[in-house]
Amino acid sequence: MKIMENYSLKSLNTFGLKVDAKYFTVVASLDEIKQAGKFADKKAVSLMVLGGGSNVLFRDDFPGLIIRNNLKGISVIDETDDLVYVKVMGGEVWDDFVSFCVGNDWGGVENLSLIPGSVGAVPIQNIGAYGVELKDSFFELEAWFWKSGEVKVFSKNECEFGYRSSIFKKKLKGEVIITSVTIRLDKKPLLKTGYGAIENELAGINDRKRTVNDVRNAIINIRRSKLPDPVELGNAGSFFKNPVVSSTKLSKLKEEYPEIVSYQQRDGNCKLAAGWLIDKCGWKGKMVGDAGVHTDQALVLVNHGNATGNEILILAKEIQESVFVKFGVELEMEVNVV
């Protein structure tokens, strides 16, 4: 295992921030994971696992060890007439895995197409899009504990999945590296097309003839039309979570803003569209130095070239404050600030 010093992370974070890691390494086996943990202990530095770098905001250089998960492999571990269980290693690219599933006509993750990042990172965030979350098709995962060297299998309940959250983002933050994830997929999938503009994209395709591949292509088209490509404009996708408020709070907001965008939740609460709130506060397209808000999607903060992580964070906090003052609603950051 090779340890590199003062390693540039510019190409490894989708904001394109010019930051360095004191130490950097790539792990491709459990033995290398063990070596990396020992190195961090010996140097008495913190460590961080970096997947695709698509959901992180570095405020400054990282003073410890950055570990890139490069564990590879996809395998079917169980199968019935209706279901297939696929184990995928943490270093695989998530969208490559989605493409693999769709290519086999297995349903369950097609709505999560084109979400950037590695497989090992997706349970941490419980990624979600277009009416689907990872937990909907999740079966189990394996994680290595840095301190004890124990490998533990986590069931869905043990992961404590929430809205863009899990036990790995809270109680176990920084304590494990997710080495593999097992997903349960449907051989006879029930397509979920009722969210957003999916139906518009699928117009012209007979309901009975629609496939998981049709849904994947529709979502790819939607995402590409709405979200900037990080290669062209540094960003981390949605920067804020959609806030959840009580039905009473929503009723009061509708008195003043009848056009407010909201989604009813099963528990009786209502989810508000964070992008709509930010837009109504006048932020869409604004720039503060090289940090800015995307011109087409107010939920996306961008780096126009030379913004620092701290400058983007200051902009984010100003947005949070203005939304709270105008609507009395608190926005929570979805991006992990380091």
195 band by pLDDT with thresholds 50, 70 and 90? confident
pLDDT in tens, 135-182: 999 999 999 999 999 999 999 999 999 989 999 999 999 999 999 999
* Whole-number pLDDT of residue 203: 87
Active site residue 137: no
Q: Do residues 187 and 97 touch, judged by C-beta distance below 8 A?
A: no
pLDDT score for 81: 96
pLDDT tier, 266 (very low <50, low <70, confident <90, very high otherwise): confident
* End-to-end CA, the chain: 25
116 and 223 Cβ atoms separated by less than 8 Å: no
**Residue 274, C-beta contacts closer than 8 angstroms, at least 6 positions apart:** 238, 240, 241, 242, 243, 299, 323, 331
In the chain, which residue ranges form alpha helices assigned H by DSSP?
Answer: 30-43, 94-103, 122-125, 156-159, 198-202, 212-226, 247-256, 274-280, 309-327
Measure the CA dihedral 196/137/216/93, to 10°.
120
238: annotated active-site residue: yes
Question: pLDDT above 70 covers what percent of the chain?
Answer: 100
Task: Determine the Cα–Cα distance for residues 247 and 264; give it in Å rounded to an integer.
Answer: 9
8 A C-beta contact, residue 140 and residue 149: no
- Give dist(CA 133, CA 154) in Å, integer: 17
Structure letter (DSSP) for residue 11? G
Active-site hit among 180, 238, 262, 311 = 238
Q: Do domains 4-69 and 74-226 have the same CATH topology?
A: no
Contact status, residue 301 vs residue 313, Cβ threshold 8 Å: no
Domain extent listing, the chain? 4-69, 74-226, 234-337
CATH fit for domain 234-337, picks 3.90.78.10, 3.40.50.1000, 3.60.70.12, 1.10.3720.10: 3.90.78.10
- Residues 6 or more apart whose CB falls under 8 angstroms from that of 163 comprise 126, 128, 241, 244
- The whole-number pLDDT of residue 207 equals 76
Where on the phi/psi map is residue 290: left (φ > 0), alpha (ψ -120 to 50), or beta? Answer: alpha
Q: Does residue 334 have an active-site annotation?
A: yes
Distance of alpha carbon 100 from alpha carbon 77, whole angstroms: 15
- Strands 291-293 and 287-288, by their bridges, are antiparallel
* pLDDT band, residue 52 (cuts 50/70/90): confident
209 DSSP 8-state letter: G
Beta strands in the chain (DSSP E): 4-8, 20-27, 47-50, 56-57, 62-69, 74-79, 83-89, 128-129, 132-133, 138-145, 151-155, 176-186, 234-238, 244-245, 262-264, 270-272, 287-288, 291-293, 300-303, 336-337
Fold of 4-69: 3.30.43
Mean pLDDT for the chain? 95
Selected catalytic residue, list 92, 133, 311, 334: 334
Do 306 and 282 form a contact (C-beta atoms < 8 A)? no
Cβ contact 298:292 at 8 Å: no
The percent of residues above 90 in pLDDT, for the chain, comes to 88
Q: What is the pLDDT of residues 293-334, one digit of tens each?
A: 999 999 999 999 999 999 999 999 999 999 999 999 999 999
pLDDT(282) > 80: yes
Correct CATH for 74-226 of 3.30.1780.10, 3.30.465.10, 3.40.50.360, 3.30.43.10: 3.30.465.10
Residue with tokens 């405020």, as numbered in its chain: 59
Overall average pLDDT of the 114-142 stretch: 95
- The catalytically annotated residue of 164, 166, 180, 201 is 164
pLDDT of amino acid 205: 82
